[in-house]
Structure 1
Amino acid sequence: MAKKADILVRFGKRVRELRTEQGYSQEAFADACELDRTYIGGIERGERNLALRNIDRIANTLGITLSDLMEGL
């Protein structure tokens, strides 16, 4: 059985997927979330273990629920 990727990596890929589907550049998305672009980059690379408040900011910026954001993880 293949090992599932780390939750931070999976979450980062999900954020990147949803961000690009909505046409956001990383910089524009970071501005909309009121977060630093390098922080968003770290999330997308699976390097950041982010706070629940920031997860909520990301979901709100994408216009989706927290459960939609976590779908498939």
Structure 2
Amino acid sequence: MPKVTFREDRCKGCKLCISVCPKNIITMSNKLNIKGHHPASITSDNMKDCIGCASCAIMCPDCVITVEK
């Protein structure tokens, strides 16, 4: 199963990853990061639906997403 991790402290909340996820499993966290943004995240329940396409990581302008297959 693929694993997606976010460096939430560096995420600026642009939501580009959400727009390209074919499974629509990425959401914005309710908490604020150190920059004052709501970072993107994936719940453990949604992680099981990830297909590991890495579209989110490719789209991220700040390289805060890592996809492990």
TM-score normalised to the size of structure 1?
0.41
Flag the structure with larger Rg: 1
Point out the structure with the larger strand share.
2
Point out the structure with the larger helix share.
1
TM-score normalised to the size of structure 2?
0.42
